[in-house]
A = this chain, B = another copy of it.
Amino acid sequence: MATRQKESATRFIIHVITAAFWLGLIQLPSGLVAQKLSPQKLDALVDKQMWLAIDELSDYVSLPNDAVNPANILKNIAWTEKAMTKRGFQTTVLKTNQLPLVLAEKTFPKATQTVLFYFHLDGQPVRPSEWNQKDPFVTVLKEKTTTGEYKDLSGNLPKTGVNDEWRLFGRSTSDDKGPIIMMLNALDILQTEKQTPPFNIKIIIDTEEEKGSGGLKGALASYKNKLQADFMIVMDGPMHSSNLPTLTFGCRGNAGFTITTYGPVTPQHSGHFGNYAPNPAFRLARLITSMKDEQGRALIPGFYDGITFDDETKKIMAAVPDNKQAINKALMIVEEEKVGNNYQESLQYPSLNIKGMKAAVVGKGSGTIVPEEAVATFDIRLVPETDGKRMVELVKKHIEKQGFTVLDHAPTPEERLKYAQIVFFEGNAGTPAFRTNINEPMGVWLRKAVSDGFGKEPVIIRIMGGTVPVVPFIQALQVPAVIVPLVNMDNNQHSPNENLRLGNLRTGIKTCLSILTEPLQQRAH
């Protein structure tokens, strides 16, 4: 313990010196722009920074951050402003029609272009009783035992070094306070090394990402100029499961629709009307079956229109070290759907997914009736080639071709008596996808930054399967954007026992440093 205290004291002194520098108390000769550092040099620098980063992250995590509680978010904003100011950033609290955002800005000598970084400080709700620790906001460092359990290391820490397999448990250690701390500590290292980034930095910190980023979206009109940048980097979400450095060039969007089919106007006795009153569940099943083949490929005309890959793209997707056997074993499936030739390819296409289906009651409370209606709710994950509005229209047309009258409302008695087969169709064009070309200047720049920093090519994700709430923001700014995920895939994001693997804290800081020291390419116009 004494050793740990001594180390803490050392880290405190380093913090003070770093802060003094950023606050301008220590002056450096101007124009000392960042020099590229070798992977070995980077490793050594990051290694020295690790305990400082762990302590700072623990301090940040100690502030509860569920955005249902605005007072708590304000405390997080104050902490963030202080941390940014300490690093010499100018901060502004941007008012929105929901919770305010934090914008931190710093310009650097000789820098002509600007990179905007996106993070969020809010976290998912917690139910402490479901956590294997007393308080989700008091971090606990744990080590995996041979039986696969995680053991609290408190009071039993080795004297030196940080084991990459240790994990820091606490809400938002990964999602998304961890990445903020990685960036801050990378800036500190750069400072200690007396270097400045080759570009100006803007950092926008969302405060309601877990609630859909409503404030951020609403703020765009007012702050578009303030947020203008040449490139945008989103530092949120998990990296490839291999934990190799990952660059994600896009994400799918999300549209959806709900269809309701109808039988008799009220549930009917299945004895008196079985073989007579049409059953809406059979009708729904027939419609659903018409939409996809047995291998999971959509049968709706035009659904995959415009999607093609050149050889380079195919090579990039095949190069992602996905382990099909491991994925299938984790899902406990024998065969995956056959939309693409591999996992990455499957994400390049729009999906057609039933997320919920219902007719009358299954199990307790079930009666022998012909139900009055059956409902299925779908989501369509979009890709850039498939506009949400168009896709919803394609589905609607397909349903009409199956012989149904499609209404935008529940049928009236007159309509029920007029049309033999009715579908009430509720469509939602949703959030679009985004994808930045890998060969654009931004892609070339980031790939070079990470390759040089790690001595190997990063994992290139052409498009990720999920949808991030920041997409409308990216699109409104009309800025090339790339997601640089830094945390471990198995971080229990959104669940109890969220954690950050310390190896990811290390590579995260290193990734930030690699980017902060890489000269920008010219943006193509």
Task: Give me the interface of A with B, judged by CB distance under 8 Å.
Answer: 251-252, 254, 258, 263-265, 268-279, 281-282, 284-286, 288-289, 291-292, 294, 296, 327, 329, 331-337, 339-340, 343, 346-347, 349, 351-363, 366-371, 374-377, 379, 381, 413, 416-420, 464-467
Q: Is the CB of A273 within 8 A of B465?
A: yes
CA distance A418 to B366 in the complex (A): 32
Minimal Cβ-Cβ distance residue in B for A360: B356
A279–B355 CA distance with the chains assembled, in angstroms: 9
Q: Is the CB of A381 within 8 A of B271?
A: yes
Q: Is the CB of A264 within 8 A of B355?
A: no
Residue contacts A-B, CB under 8 angstroms, 30 given: A251-B271, A264-B333, A271-B465, A271-B466, A272-B466, A274-B352, A274-B381, A274-B465, A275-B337, A275-B347, A275-B349, A275-B465, A276-B339, A278-B335, A281-B354, A282-B288, A285-B286, A286-B289, A332-B413, A333-B417, A354-B371, A355-B366, A356-B363, A356-B371, A357-B357, A357-B360, A357-B374, A358-B359, A362-B376, A366-B377
Q: Which residues of B contact A417 (CB under 8 A)?
A: 329, 332-334
Shortest CB-to-CB span from A284 to chain B, Å, is: 7
Residues on the B chain within 8 Å of A285, using CB? 284-286, 288-289
A360 to B286, CA, bound (A): 19
- A277 and B371: CB pair below 8 A? no
Interchain CA distance A289-B283 in the complex, whole Å: 8
Chain B neighbourhood of A271, CB < 8 A: 251-252, 254, 381, 464-467
Distance (Å) between the CB of A446 and the closest chain B CB? 22
Q: Are B356 and A362 in contact (CB under 8 A)?
A: yes
Query: Are A337 and B277 in contact, with the CB atoms below 8 A?
Result: yes
CB contact between A292 and one of B282, B340, B349, B363 (< 8 Å): that residue = B282
Expressed in whole angstroms, the minimum distance between the Cβ of A6 and any Cβ of chain B is 45
CA distance A48 to B326 in the complex (A): 85
Q: Which of A275, A291, A374 gathers the greatest number of chain B CB atoms within 10 Å? A: A275
Contact present for A334 and B418 (CB under 8 Å) = yes
Are B279 and A353 in touch, CB under 8 angstroms?
yes
Chain B minimum-CB-distance residue to A415: B332
Contacts of A289 in B (CB 8 A): 282, 285-286, 288-289
Please state if A368 and B347 are interface contacts (CB–CB under 8 Å).
no
Kindly provide the distance from the CB of A64 to the nearest chain B CB, expressed in whole angstroms.
24
Beyond A254-B271, A357-B358, A363-B377, list 4 extra A-B contacts (CB 8 Å): A264-B333, A269-B466, A285-B286, A357-B360
| Residues on B with beta carbons closer than 8 Å to the beta carbon of A291 | 282
Which partner residue on chain B sits nearest A335 by CB separation? B420
- The residue on B at minimum CB distance from A289 is B289
- A366 and B356 in contact, given A288-B281, A465-B271 (Cβ under 8 angstroms): yes
Residues of B within 8 A of A354 (CB): 279, 281-282, 359, 371
* A357 and B416 contacting across the interface, CB-CB below 8 Å: no
Cβ contacts under 8 Å, A361 to chain B:
355-356
Are A278 and B333 closer than 8 Å at their CB atoms?
yes
Q: Please name the residue on chain B nearest to A331 by beta carbon.
A: B264
Indicate if the CB atoms of A331 and B265 lie closer than 8 Å.
Answer: yes
Q: How far is the CA of A14 from the CA of B388 in the complex (A)?
A: 81
Are B282 and A296 within 8 A (Cβ)? yes
